[in-house]
Copies of this chain bind each other. A is one copy, B any other.
Amino acid sequence: MKAFVPGHITGFFAVKRDIDPFRAGSVGCGMTLGVGATTWLEPLLPGEESEVILNGQPSPAPVSRQVIDFLAPGPVRVQTDLQMVMGAGFGASGCGALGAAYLLNARFNLALTSNQVGAVAHQAEVANGTGLGDVIAQNTGGLVIRLHPGAPGTGVVDRIPIPPTRVYCLVRGPMSTSQVLSDPEVMREVNRAGERAVKELLARPTLEEFMRLSARFARESGLARDWMLDAMEAVEARGGQASMIMLGDSLFAVGEESEEALREFGPVVSTYVTKWGAYLD
């Protein structure tokens, strides 16, 4: 048995702190992607300790490890193959943690619901400062609006209905989420711009509006780097829409014309918005 969890990119967000990790999270909007992570369990020899193997290499993987500590009654070996770069805003830690939670639930007959499985992964993300809204979106699938913060079953989401949509991603490298989120001045701007974008999106929840508000958020929040602003303009000049992936040194774009414009700034990965969330296979 394997678990597949889609990647998730956020276009805009506002952080909602709470002492309760199941209530902590974010509001905002993002999309789950066909690039994600496959996770499976492998047998351990007697006496071996739990370990997480990431793309074939033993890894500290603190988020997945916290899920193991929470759910596994004994040692397990969790293997995760990531189809994306870590730290670039694709929700890689959520992919691994949520996949591990689904597999441990099945393997040890824990009889948790999807929301309960997701809540375990969400609290591990919150505790490690690696994500505040990826898991609930990854557990849902699609173009997901996070209306109220929190873990699956506590947070509230809705979706924007869209036909099959290609997404073009350009990844230059990682960006430290915790570093950005720990600067109070940056956070004030982020939260102000993020709250405003959510409110406006709800007045007209469409893909075009999501992209427009994402681009405005990237500019207003001060998070977008110079190369991103240039690339966003180049895409817009061709009639496409692009914005920064929150939080990575990365861009995403939609629209047929976008791919070519984006290619001038670096190698582009072409993927799509999934209609499904995390699943067992």
A residues lining the B interface (CB < 8 Å) = 1, 102, 105-106, 109, 111-117, 141-142, 145, 153, 158-164, 204-206, 209, 275-276, 279-281
Contacts and interface: CB of A to CB of B under 8 A. Distances in A.
A106 B114 CA distance: 30
A113 B280 contact: no
Contacts of A163: 1, 106, 280-281
A158 B111 CA distance: 13
Nearest to A202: B113
B164 A281 contact: yes
A158 B154 CA distance: 11
Q: Which of A102, A113, A117, A142 has the most CB of B within 10 A?
A: A113
A263 to B, nearest CB: 28
B279 A160 contact: no
Copies in the complex: 2
A160 B275 contact: no
Contact of A159 (B114, B161, B275): B114
Contacts of A115: 158-159
A46 to B, nearest CB: 27
A117 B161 contact: yes
A161 B102 CA distance: 8
A224 to B, nearest CB: 26
A113 B205 contact: yes
Contacts of A114: 142, 158-161
Contact of A275 (B116, B145, B205, B276): B276
Given A113-B145, A114-B158, 15 more contacts: A1-B163, A105-B161, A111-B206, A111-B209, A112-B161, A113-B160, A113-B205, A114-B159, A114-B160, A114-B161, A117-B161, A141-B276, A153-B158, A163-B280, A164-B281
Contacts of A276: 141, 275-276
Contacts of A145: 113
A276 B159 CA distance: 13
In the complex, the 10 A-B pairs of residues with the closest C-beta atoms, listed nearest first: A114-B159, A163-B280, A276-B276, A275-B279, A113-B158, A115-B158, A275-B276, A111-B204, A113-B205, A111-B206
A137 to B, nearest CB: 13
Contacts of A141: 276
Nearest to A203: B111
Contact of A113 (B1, B102, B106, B159): B159
A150 to B, nearest CB: 14
A1 B162 CA distance: 10
A111 B161 CA distance: 9
Given A275-B279, A276-B276, A279-B275, A161 B1 contact: no
